[in-house]
Amino acid sequence: MNIEIKSTSYLIPNNSSWGSLYKDNKLKFAEYNNIFNNSKFNQKNECEIFVLFLKDIIDYYKVLKNINKSEIKKIKLIINFIEKKTSTYKKKFYNIYFIILLF
């Protein structure tokens, strides 16, 4: 299977953690922080994996005090993008991961 992996942070393509995916699949890593690239359907990619690091999307320190409208707008934009993409290309597999790092 051809899999494209997109993330808001840099993911090391040759990290041993990807070994089980590399075994039977062809992996393509998008440029980091470019989850919106290739928004048109790419026939070669049968699966897309989105890895979203919450710290890349919102500012924890602002949110601890009071969440502001710009933070909510960023989250809504990403959710709308994912909803649109998954409803448009129903034959494709999508995996979406939200990773919360509190440091």
Whole-structure pTM value: 0.71
User: What is the spatial distance between Cα 41 and Cα 47, in angstroms, rounded to a whole number?
Assistant: 11
User: What is the spatial distance between Cα 103 and Cα 100, in angstroms, rounded to a whole number?
Assistant: 9
Q: How many domains does the chain have?
A: 1
Whether residue 27 has pLDDT greater than 90: yes
- Mean pLDDT value across the chain: 76
Residues 6+ positions from 58 with CB-CB distance below 8 Å: 67, 71, 74, 75
Q: Which domain holds residue 7?
A: 2-99
In which element (H, E) is residue 72 found?
A: helix 69-88
- The label of the residue with tokens 């290739």 reads 38
Distance from chain centroid for Cα 3:
12
Q: pLDDT tens, 47-90?
A: 888 888 877 777 766 666 666 777 778 878 888 887 777 777 66
Instruction: Find out whether 101 and 56 touch, Cβ atoms under 8 Å.
Output: no
Torsion of CA 67, 86, 88, 83, to 10 degrees: -20
- Strand-pairing partners, residue 74, are none
Amino acid 58: pLDDT:
76
